[in-house]
A and B are shown apart, each in its own frame.
Chain A
């Protein structure tokens, strides 16, 4: 066990997988000589050379499409979105080609790719750099979507994503790179499709992911003091949802609170709420509740930005009301 920062956990995963399989390569803006904007590929350029850690021009659509073609012909590329928001410029390649091509080709080709990078609302980065693309990409068939939240799951999930033969959209969070914890030594894998039961409890199920996991943990401290026993689930897999774990929890607590950082309309929570209603309607004592970001571009001003995303006290209030049946 060794204390590891989240960005280093990702780096270790990529390094180990590149050493394990020479077909694994990285491409993106400033991933090579610069080592990545968040240092996730630091020193890998020196270790593996300029083709395996390829500094690309700023041309998101073209280098993402290039990764598709490389994957179709035998490589296993990891594409870095310097900021996941930039990949709006690669939406066509991710949707039409990464996601749909295996199907439209009748199984002729597989696209083993990982598209990774920082998403989420940072600290006053402005609207364009504060996006939650997981919701935008959610409807695309043929891609898996995961969101990491701790150094431990960051490493295990990255290794799993690289080894997976399907395209994986891999969401990191801009404010979590410097999280630090002891992680298992050496080679370990986390399942891409399994939710993490962070805390077991009997009163209210909270479903969350990415940075909101940590907001929820803060709220849980208060809720525990106030006598509410929360079962906290980090979804990890945003597509597909781990409905088995989710259903099992709701059958126990009969109450569910969804906490997300993406916007409410068309968000991850919207889809999750629909599925919970479809799968667990008879197990619910009260209607499911969802706490989401405001449906607005993220404002630059710090106070307004904090008002845009969910804060721990709102989670406490909502969970208490759910528990008391007053919501």
Chain B
């Protein structure tokens, strides 16, 4: 069975009469223009996705999500600018396009209570966790005021205060660490008798990670011990230049959960309310002691893998398909359509965010460098 066949089979199961574009139209998403095959299998999957129950949000919640996603987007755009202006160095991986995942999951969790674990593409997760933009930008500039004191850099953002377990630069290595945080929750509850210990951990990683051993090792242990963890797969199709469909035998990652007897769900990762709805269900199960979930979010990065990536392999039609599904515009339209906000209010938020981003750059530029005499500090716990 080919991927296309499988998708078709699933669609048929969901709605025998539907063709993919009908399903999309019914879900209220923008229709795809042109030839479906030109946009790639990942897009076809999105078109065939059976709509899940989205979260319903109040005005306050909706604006919070909008603000968080806008901050993520504008912050990353500013990073690109600063990188090209020579203010930051090394490998910088931007999150543009995937904001619905960070915001959808993290803003459904409890700040400074639940735990978060990220990858090398971690700026926006850090912001969603509540790490101040000033601290994140400072870190990217290598300054002492950075959340990792300028020792970590773009791929190693940490904040104990905001329960950010870190950005992990190697593929998959953050998942066991996240598992450990989830283990601590259960340990505190069941071995130390702390009934209030109900923290849930969210581990973020990409489609490429789902081919590495640590992923499977951790799914097994998480299910075995019913640990409160969400495995959030940000499937953006491309592991640098490796097409997901060329790298894995079954591209539907959420289905792998079933092999471990755990809940799996696929969701439109360009729709923050869909992600939030799925995350809320998974968090509720985890907090109730019902164990882990694999949440596969179909998403797309609007930029190359990193700012050093020439991005030569991705087809224009594919990029265009996903650009049409910009998650921030989509949430904005939803808020206006449901009278939760006006276009002017959203514009005002954007202006505020622009000021916040400008402020964090100004702060980071003026911030002190780490002291040379503290080069070897932080190696040992006592120092």
A165 at the interface (CB under 8 A from B): yes
> A56 vs B169: C-alpha distance in the bound complex, in angstroms?
26
- Residues in A whose Cβ lies below 8 Å from that of B190: 51
Task: Say whether B322 faces chain A, with CB atoms less than 8 Å apart.
Answer: no
Decide if B379 touches A141 in the complex (CB within 8 Å): yes
The CA-CA distance from A23 to B188 in the complex, in Å, is 9
Cα distance A189–B181 when bound, in Å? 30
Establish whether residues A69 and B191, one from each chain, have CB atoms under 8 Å apart when the complex forms: no
Neighbouring A residues of B218 by C-beta, 8 Å? 62, 66
Q: Is B148 an interface residue (CB 8 A)?
A: yes
Q: Is B192 a contact partner of A22 (Cβ separation < 8 A)?
A: yes
User: Which among B176, B184, B214 has the greatest number of chain A C-beta atoms within 10 A?
Assistant: B176
Scan residues 110-151 of chain B and give those whose CB is less than 8 A from a CB of chain A. Answer: 115, 117, 146-151
- Size of the B side of the interface (Cβ < 8 Å), in residues, is 48
A174 within 8 A of B: no
A6: CB under 8 A from chain B? no
Cα(A69)–Cα(B175), bound, Å: 9
**Residue-wise interface mask of B (210-233) relative to A, using a CB-CB cutoff of 8 A (1 in contact, 0 not):** 000110011011001000000000
- Count of CB-CB pairs between chains A and B under 8 Å: 151
Structural contact, A108 and B179, CB atoms closer than 8 A: no
Choice from A70, A74, A106, A166 contacting B381 with Cβ under 8 Å: A166
Given the interface pairs A57-B217, A108-B158, the reply to whether A64 lies near B191 with Cβ below 8 Å is no
Tell me if B146 and A57 are in contact (CB < 8 A): no
A73 sits at the interface (CB 8 A): yes
Stretch in A89-97, A269-277, A295-303 with 4+ CB within 8 Å of B: A89-97
**At the interface, yes or no: B54 with Cβ under 8 Å from chain A?**
no
* Inter-chain contact A96/B170, CB cutoff 8 Å: yes
Q: Assess A62 versus B158: contact at CB under 8 Å? Given A93-B176, A106-B378, A141-B379.
A: no
Kindly state the separation between the CA atoms of A186 and B372 in the bound complex, as whole angstroms.
45
| Contact of A105 with B379 at beta-carbon distance under 8 Å, contacts A61-B176, A65-B179 already known | no
Complex formed: what's the CA distance from A11 to B179 in Å? 27
Among A51, A75, A106, A110, contact of B149 (Cβ-Cβ < 8 Å): A106
Cβ-defined contact, B151 with A72, below 8 A = no
Q: Could you tell me the distance between the alpha carbons of A106 and B371 in the complex, rounded to whole angstroms?
A: 13
Query: Which A53-109 residues sit within 8 Å CB-CB of chain B?
Result: 56-57, 59, 61-75, 92-93, 96-97, 101-109
A25: CB under 8 A from chain B? yes
Most A C-beta atoms less than 10 A away, residue of B147, B166, B178, B183: B183
B152 at the interface (CB under 8 A from A): yes
| CB-CB nearest in chain B for A56 | B221
List residues 156-174 of chain B with CB under 8 A from any CB of chain A: 156, 158-160, 165-166, 168-170, 173
Q: Is the CB of A104 within 8 A of B221?
A: no
A112 in the interface, Cβ–Cβ < 8 Å? yes
By the criterion CB–CB under 8 Å, are A57 and B221 in contact? yes
Q: Residue on B with the closest CB to A62?
A: B217
- Interface membership of B373, Cβ < 8 A: no
Closest chain A residue to B199, Cβ basis: A73
A286→B181 CA distance, assembly (Å): 54
Give min CB distance, A82 to chain B, whole Å: 16
Contact status of A69 and B183, CB under 8 A, knowing A22-B191, A62-B214, A106-B148: yes
Asked if B378 contacts A103 (CB within 8 A), the reply is yes
Contact status A106-B147, CB under 8 Å: yes
- For chain A, the count of residues having a C-beta within 8 Å of the partner chain is 44
Contacts of A64 in B (CB 8 A): 176
Q: Is B186 interfacial (CB 8 A cutoff)? A: yes
Q: Taking the complex as formed, is B40 at the interface, i.e. its CB lies under 8 A from any CB of chain A?
A: no
Of B148, B186, B192, B381, most buried by chain A (CB within 10 Å of CB) is: B381
A49 within 8 Å of B by Cβ? Answer: yes
A117 on interface, CB distance cutoff 8 Å: no
Q: Are A62 and B378 in contact (CB under 8 A)?
A: no
Set B165, B220, B380: member contacting A72, Cβ < 8 A: B165
Is the Cβ of B184 less than 8 Å from the Cβ of A65? no
Indicate if B382 sits at the interface (CB-CB under 8 A).
yes
Q: How far is the CA of A51 from the CA of B166 in the complex (A)?
A: 25
How many Å from the CB of A148 to the closest CB on chain B?
A: 21
Quick check: is B177 within 8 A (CB to CB) of the other chain? Answer: yes
Expressed in whole angstroms, the Cα–Cα distance for A107 and B224 within the complex equals: 33
Please give, as numbers and ranges, the residues of chain B lying within 8 Å of A101 by CB-CB distance.
158, 166
Q: Does A267 contact B (CB under 8 A)?
A: no
Q: Are B221 and A107 in contact (CB under 8 A)?
A: no
Chain A, range 291-327, C-beta contacts under 8 Å to B: none
* A70 in contact with B379 given A59-B220, A105-B148 (CB within 8 Å): no
Residue B329 at the A interface, CB < 8 A? no
**Which residues does chain B contribute within 8 Å of A52, judged by CB atoms?**
187, 191
Instruction: Kindly list the 6 A-B residue pairs having the minimum CB-CB distance in the complex, ordered from nearest.
Output: A69-B180, A65-B176, A106-B149, A62-B217, A165-B381, A105-B158
Known: A61-B217, A62-B175. 13 other contacts (CB 8 A): A22-B192, A51-B186, A52-B191, A70-B180, A70-B183, A75-B184, A96-B170, A97-B168, A102-B379, A104-B148, A105-B156, A109-B160, A109-B165
